[in-house]
Structure 1
Amino acid sequence: MKRSTFTILSAVVLSLVASSVFAQRAIRQSETSSKPKSFFEAGFWDNWFVSATGGVNHYFGEDDNYNPDGFFGAITPNIKLSVGKWLRPSYGLRLQTEGMWLKGWNDGLNYEGVYTWNKLINDGTQGVDPVLNHKPPKDKDGKGYYQRMRYMDLHLDFMINLINLWKEYDINRPLDVYLYAGVGWGHMFRYKGIPTDNEIIGKLGTVLNIKLTDRLSGNIELQNSLVNEAFDGQIGGRGITNHNRSYEGYASLTAGFSYRLQNTFTKYDYVDPEVVKELNAKVNDALADNKRLQEKLDEFCPKDSCDKLRQQLQDALSKKCKDRLYVVIQYVIDKWNVRTSELYKLEEIVEFMKKHPEINISVTGYADVKTGNPAYNQKLSEKRANEVIRLLTTKFNVNKDRIKSKGLGDTVQPFKENERNRAVIAFDLDE
């Protein structure tokens, strides 16, 4: 063989090897996701929770600082019901309703000309409220009267998980702390001298969440509510500073339980689009060099004398530069159904199989080693693999004979992060 021909052939082989290296590197860069992803992903039905708590309330109105029964005499019961969703590990939304009773106190005086809708006169000439025809109970000295309120409110809160904001998300973390702020609507029912009223309410609070099981948590919540002063039926009064104020509020301390319907976030390694773009450009350049080198080969190696070598090069080119399949389908703990957010990955598998009808694929199920026991995890991994095959064959009409499947349970952990091993991996079989 001529030296020039040998040089050309060597360059072709080196170019093929370079193409393979760049192509495989590009595949590794995109193994965790076949399209750009944020660091965490969850489907619509993931991370919903419901909670119920009960505890105590205390109202802070115009004259309540002078309540003869003191602070603890104004304590009342409180019940809260909530439903919410964590949109990301560090933040979420919650809809909460609460209500029951509130207690207040009115000194019955009209200080500084401020109007009090149900004021009483010290000498007792006006002992019955003319508005609601109700005679409120006075204190033991007869200088004021007690307010008995029935209320409810509904508010939407924006929650921040402080620990997930500062540290990496961990589904097994035993303790979390949330802060939240919200706005909503409050309704005061007409009851024993208190008129009907509707007000906009602001909310601030914090929640201590203690994990009890995979889905059940205990929580302690401290909440403050800000509302217009008319909410308790009294406008004006001396208040704490002997001056009228426009806003007052009530605080609550409750404890209860929260149940997570499903709770998981799938972690993805971030892939810089510019890195992928650069690698793909290098692959394309390498393939273009292959084409130019083959054209040079035609000049130095006539077809009738280099058929065998030409076929070997063509086989190498076909093998090294063919498309590869590597798809990872993630699962919620103890589940084997494919979530809506993961269905597009099945479409990628189908597209690859249509493009390469001569290639078969492998579908392998896994389970994470930190959950369940080996026997249970083995069955779970098989269910996950079988469910993927069922969808491919029934929903996408893929020939079942082209799929090999198995479940490895927790005997193999392909990923360092425990949660990511709740997976099915599909790849092409390079026979």
Structure 2
Amino acid sequence: MKLNKVILSGVVALSCVSASAQEADKTVNVFTPHWYAQAQIGGQYTLGEIGFGKLLSPNAQVGVGYNFNQVVGARLSLNAWQSKAGQNVAGNVYKWKWNYVAPMVDATFNLTNLFCEYNPDRLVEVGVFGGIGANIAWGNDEAADAKAAILKSEAATEALKYGATPLENLWDGTKTRFVARVGANVDFRVSDRVKLGVELSANTLSDKYNSKKAGNPDWYFNALVGVKVALGETHTTKVIPAPKPVEKIIERIIEKPAPAPAPKVESKVVEENFRRDIFFPIGNSNIAKSQSTKIAEIVEYMKENPDAKITLTGYADKGTGSAAFNDKIAARRAQTVYNTLAAKGVAKSRMIKESKGSRVQPFEENDMNRVTICIAK
């Protein structure tokens, strides 16, 4: 048999792992709702017209709170100690102080977790809060003494001729007034359950608080430092196994080409179900630039398959927000993809949009469920 008529063929079977390094298991931290206790001490400045240092007084606060999720919480606190006021009459400064206790209810918001990925090992976190409560004040005897001293002065006697009455809103006994506040805090991590923090707040109440009539609300500002202790686990750790290496069988056929090989006819592989997943940042329904390639691939597929229809299903993750909020943002995510595809030429009659909120979680990893899954058939 001539050599040019001999066909040499061989089959080589190789089992191999993908050329890239094997991925390691991924560890994901999942926030756990929990209670916490808080104790703080610091100072207060009661807004007034005499020197700043003369209106400083001690302040303290204790509280207990609950973090519903990694962003939103609530706190019940008891703020108390002392407030000061004063008046300058013809160069003479009159000062007085009184005591108070203020039970408050606040809504708290962790801005760091809102705008950044949740990380229980983060050293510094920033938050804001706002609330309402009652200011229960007593011991205003010094204000009455100050008014008596002012009325005895020559300057006050002259001012009274023109209708200027000192300490016109003087009060005695125990008075309860509505108070509202807003503030900000910075917490520094010590351990999983312990944080040291700094808190600043602005508090406003009626014009009668400092005994003087000014025609506008009275204010006091608190600066506090303290410790916050979590009363339970703050998070759990979930390990997502790395994908198993894919074994591939590579077959190689070695043969001498035939004199007149038949022309190859390439067959086009058509995907029965075409799928692309459009992922979104936390609390957001805008399509990121990183997802634009997927949008282009969907548009191209729909052009090449004019009979295909596509279903757009929006989702939200369970770890953030309430069920009602998640229903709305999931629907907005589906609507955003719908509007984007329509703007790029995909007929609206070929698209179906749905929303499953956070009731269904298509992925095990919490953050991946901020998604619109697009399936074309």
> What TM-score, normalized to structure 1?
0.40
> What TM-score, normalized to structure 2?
0.46
Point out the structure with the larger strand share.
2
